Amino acid sequence: MHAALPVHNFLVLSAILFAIGTFGVLTRRNAIVIFMCIELMLNAVNLTFIALSHHLGNLDGQVFVFFVMTVAAAEAAVGLALMIAFFRNRESIEVDEINMLKW
Amino acid sequence: MFDYIWLIPFFPLLGSVINGLFGKRFLKSEALIGGIATAAIGASFLVSCTYFFRLLGLGPEDKVHEVVVASWMSVGQLQIDWGFLLDPLSALMIMVVTGVGSLIHLYSIGYMHGEEGFYRFFSYLNLFCFAMLMLVLGNNALVMFIGWEGVGLCSYLLIGYYFHKKSAGDAAKKAFVVNRVGDFGFLVGLGILFWTLGSHGVWTVNFVEISKNAHLLGTGSAVVTLVTLCFFLGATGKSAQIPLYTWLPDAMEGPTPVSALIHAATMVTAGVYMIGRMNILFAMAPSTMMVVAIVGAATAIFAASIGFAQNDIKRVLAYSTVSQLGFMFLAMGVGAFTAGIFHLMTHAFFKACLFLGSGSVIHGMHHALHHAHLHDDPQDMRNMGGIGKKMKVTYWTFLISTIAIAGIPFFSGFFSKDEILWWAFGSTRGHWALWLVATCAAMMTAFYMFRCVAMTFWGESKTHPKAKDHIHESPWVITLPLVVLAFLAAVGGFVGVPAVLGGSNRIHLYFEPVFGHAQEIFNISAHGSKSTELGLMVFSVLVAATGISIAVYMYVKNPTLPAKFTARFAGLHRAVFNKWYVDEIYDALIVNPCKRLGTFCWKGFDVKVVDGVVNGTGKLVNACSRALRFTQSGYVQNYAMTMTIGALVILAFYVFR
């Protein structure tokens, strides 16, 4: 067998992707972009699961990835539906404008 | 043998409850309400008579009987019962209370006719009788204290009977508060007594037990002096002595039957009774007895002086009561316990008769003035005069009682007052100075009482011409009690004819089982030759006669003299008329500082501190929330940021652990 890449590489890549995704969620104004960043975070987590699954020789991690993907899909659907409803009221999907539940 | 003694206080309690609960709506007839109340106290009187005579028939060793109805508190060695004590002292007291009480209840049916709160009056009056009977029949200090407090309460309720009048409400409050100061003394005394006896292993508040074990406290010791002084403070409050007498003249705001019953015959005698009940303790404390005697004599002369200048007939009688109570305390203070209680009894007769008589006069005056649509004061003696011709029964009964109070032989007051004067002079615990002060007070009594008679019943009528022909005698329910009481005032003294006049002094023998022991052990007796005793007696009669003649001279023979006197001694007259400014002094020294303290506690403490803390807590919460509000911005990204930071903190904690 040829030598596999060390696990660290995958974990660091995953961390960087997660950080980028978090930064995007916290900073961007456009709701669609925020959803894309959330997807990025979820995929980073998926990468972690798979890398560790291969490293530990245990298939549990890969099975869990399926769950994560399912949840990601469902959540994207619901989120986009929410945004459509919001757009119908406000003509905009800037999250800055979603601020009525305050004191 | 005396198993139904509990009925004596029970009947008036029952009457009070029935009238109180059902009087307003269901018992519409005045006769029914008054009848129930009078029947209740009358029934008590019948039982009291039965037991009194039964007790008389028993042998001298068999005079003390305790009847325990139920146990109240049973804690370890301490046993306090709902118990009653029947001995010569309490037997005489219940006769006086129920007897005079019944007459006054009957009188009130006539006097309170037409009053809106008729049922309320009789309910309270019966309740008072219940409390007084508990006081005198109680076999331990706590049952006595129930009665003690109860009579104070009923006094408040009855003085404030005309509660729509501010003056009546104020007088009632004053009576209750001043009484309370005395009650504090009683409780402190009881507490110290209980604790000290307890430290010797005797845990009790029962009178018989206390008397048996009193020697443990040590004759003349500081403890027994302190205890008796505290009890005496209680007596000064209840019995209106210096310094706590100021409530009694104001108490005249209550209806006249109240003044007669509570402030002449019964409640005010509670202090004297209490000293009689605890005579062993007092005999063990000669210093306290001297204090009692001095206060009694001082009060007697002080109150008599104020009686000189009063124009309201009830005020004169009120100060007279304070003065006569002074005599009773003087008697107790010099060891003449029998004489003190004897005077208590005769005083109940003639003072109740005087008050009821004055009520009859006021009743007549009120009707006449009302008829003529005038607003003159029916109680002011300056509006009276010549009433003797118009209200014959009232006049003669009043006169008989006045003669009794002045100490003219052989009316009741003569025997009891002279006994006191003799003991003040010749007792082992007496002093000639006390006798002198008391004799002066006796002369002053004769003077101001006859002044009262002269201004009210003799001479020309000073009533407004439109009203004076409408003054007529009161109905039989009012005059019958007057006649009975006047009769008792006249002959009631013959139970105590002293040996020096050839009598057997039966009342002294009667009280032997109660007071004999203390008087024997501590050598308290009146010693002196028969000629001294007779001489003093003659002197006091002369003194009384002098007082009467001065009064007759000033108010009948030479009626311009009083006005000249007042003008000549204007300052003194003003001082006496204004009660020596005692109320004003108390106001300045005690009442106003207390009010200021109360106002400070209210505005300075309750509002600023307590409310401040409570409101401040609210304001603090408010301020915090105003600061924390900003975290709820409504921006989802802010919330996401908070979550992220939180997650990072937890992560950092685990990484750097």
> What is the mean predicted confidence (pLDDT) over B166-181?
92
- Burial classification of residue B181, based on how many CB atoms lie within 10 Å of its CB (0-12 exposed, 13-18 middle, 19 or more buried): middle
**CB-CB: which of B635, B640, B641 is closest to A99?**
B635
Min distance A58 CA to chain B CA atoms (Å): 25
Residues of chain A neighbouring B634 (CB-CB closer than 8 A): 98-102
Residue B115 pLDDT = 84
Contact state of A102 with B633 under an 8 Å Cβ cutoff: yes
Dihedral pair phi/psi, residue B459, rounded to 5°: 70, -165
Q: What long-range pairs does B574-583 form, CB within 8 A, spacing at least 24?
A: B576/B305, B576/B306, B576/B308, B576/B309, B577/B309, B577/B310, B579/B249, B579/B306, B580/B302, B580/B305, B580/B306, B582/B246, B583/B246
Residue B509's pLDDT band (cuts 50, 70, 90): confident
Q: Where are the alpha helices (H) located in B308-411, listed in sequence order? A: 313-333, 337-371, 387-390, 392-406
At B476-501, the pLDDT tens digits run 888 999 999 999 999 988 888 887 78
pLDDT of A1 above 60: no
Cβ–Cβ < 8 Å for B204, B216:
no
pLDDT of B511 above 60: yes
Within 13 A of B580's CA, how many CA atoms are on the CB side? 15
Residue B6's pLDDT band (cuts 50, 70, 90): very high
Cα B12 to Cα B19, B42, B45, B149, B558: the distances in Å are: 10, 9, 10, 17, 50
> What is the mean predicted confidence (pLDDT) over B420-429?
89
Q: Minimal Cα distance from A29: which residue of B?
A: B637
Dihedral pair phi/psi, residue B648, rounded to 5°: -65, -40
Q: Minimal Cα distance from A34: which residue of B?
A: B637
Residue B14 pLDDT = 95
Residue B417 pLDDT = 92
Residue B130 pLDDT = 95
Instruction: Give the distance, in angstroms, between the CA of residue A37 and the centroid of all CA atoms in the same chain.
Output: 6
Residue with the two structure tokens 């039965």: B50
DSSP designation for B312: B
Give me the percent of chain B exceeding a pLDDT of 90. Answer: 56
Residues of chain A neighbouring B626 (CB-CB closer than 8 A): none
Q: Which of B280, B298, B296, B393 is nearest to B344 (CA)?
A: B296
At B182-224, the pLDDT tens digits run 999 999 999 999 999 999 988 989 999 898 888 888 888 899 9
Min distance B637 CA to chain A CA atoms (Å): 5
Residues of chain A neighbouring B636 (CB-CB closer than 8 A): 95, 98
Residue A77 pLDDT = 96
CA distance B488 to B98: 14
At A47-103, the pLDDT tens digits run 999 999 999 999 999 999 999 999 999 999 999 999 999 999 888 889 888 888 887
- The answer, for A3 touching chain B at a CB cutoff of 8 Å, is no
Residue A29 pLDDT = 92
Cα B220 to Cα B225, B278, B331: the distances in Å are: 7, 15, 20
CA dihedral B247, B250, B254, B258 (to 10 degrees): 50
- The answer, for A62 touching chain B at a CB cutoff of 8 Å, is no
pLDDT of B533 above 90: no
Q: Which of B7, B323, B410, B16 is nearest to B418 (CA)?
A: B410
- The answer, for B647 touching chain A at a CB cutoff of 8 Å, is no
Pick A27 or B59 by higher pLDDT: A27
Residue A5 pLDDT = 85
- In terms of phi and psi (left: phi > 0; alpha: psi -120 to 50; beta: otherwise), the region of B533 is alpha
Structure tokens at B241: 């002595």
Residue A2 pLDDT = 61
Instruction: Give the distance, in angstroms, between the CA of residue B100 and the centroid of all CA atoms in the same chain.
Output: 15
Q: Which of B592, B478, B383, B629 is nearest to B111 (CA)?
A: B478
pTM: 0.83
DSSP designation for A4: P
Q: Minimal Cα distance from B629: which residue of A?
A: A103
CA distance B203 to B78: 5
Pick B62 or B104 by higher pLDDT: B104
- The answer, for A4 touching chain B at a CB cutoff of 8 Å, is no
Residue with the two structure tokens 């002269």: B454
Residue type, B604: G
Instruction: Indicate the helix (H) or strand (E) that contains A64.
Output: helix A60-90
Pick B464 or B413 by higher pLDDT: B413
B630, B631, B637, B643: best to mutate for the A interface, most A CBs within 10 A: B637
pLDDT of B5 above 80: yes
Min distance A3 CA to chain B CA atoms (Å): 30
Q: Which domains does chain A carry? A: 7-93 (1.10.287.3510)
- In terms of phi and psi (left: phi > 0; alpha: psi -120 to 50; beta: otherwise), the region of B581 is left
- The answer, for B634 touching chain A at a CB cutoff of 8 Å, is yes
ipTM at complex level? 0.88
Mean pLDDT of all residues belonging to chain A:
92
Residue B496 pLDDT = 82
Residue B295 pLDDT = 94
